[in-house]
Amino acid sequence: MTRAVLVAGIGNLFLGDDGFGPEVVRRLATDPGPPLPGGVRVVDYGIRGMHLAYDLLDGYDALVLVDAYPGGGAPGELTVLEVGPDDLGAGEFDAHGMNPVSVLANLGQLGGTLPLTHVVGCTPADVEEGIGLTEAVAAAVPEAVAEVRALVRRLSAAGPAPTPESAPAPVPARTRRS
């Protein structure tokens, strides 16, 4: 049995490199590579946080967020994180915006639970008004597509998600690539 995995591209394409997530999922959807495993859904959420929150109520086993990530590295550097409930803290939910931490932290208020979650992020160079990615971030898109594909294959092949009683405590994992 394969896991149900949601790949969510998030970000504002009108703010330069903040459009990284939507660009990666667009490329993933049009990539001529092998098809993604069954049970994988790829969605460009843009800045629609409430839409993402409600879709997560459908009971996905795993979530892969693709977003610009201000991790302090060089522009175009990819970072892969595993995120658990203890990593989120609290945040005020904005039904008209997209703050991924707030969306995920407040999922319980909607009756949901955070699935196994990974972030594939890219350090932005410019998030000022403007359409299009900078050269460094655009160059990272193919590697991010490959990273998401590999992550989705691992997550979907892992079998059904463990129940909360049997699941080990989440441990944040961080991998940087440049």
> From first to last of its 178 residues, what are the pLDDT tens digits of the chain?
678 999 999 999 999 999 999 999 999 989 888 889 999 999 999 988 788 888 999 989 999 999 999 878 899 999 999 988 777 766 665 555 567 777 887 788 888 888 999 999 999 999 999 999 999 999 999 999 999 999 999 999 865 555 444 444 444 444 555 4
- Largest interatomic CA distance in the chain: 47
Cα gap 55→108, rounded to integer Å: 13
Which residue carries 């909607």 as its tokens? 110
Find the DSSP H helices in 41-162. 49-56, 85-88, 100-105, 135-157
110 in Cβ contact with 54 (< 8 Å) = yes
Task: Please name the residues in contact with 146: beta carbons below 8 A apart, sequence gap of 6 or more.
Answer: none
From residue 132, alpha-carbon distances to 4, 22, 91 in Å are 31, 11, 29
Task: Please report, as a single letter, which amino acid is at residue 48.
Answer: R
Q: How many CB atoms lie within 10 A of CB 136?
A: 18
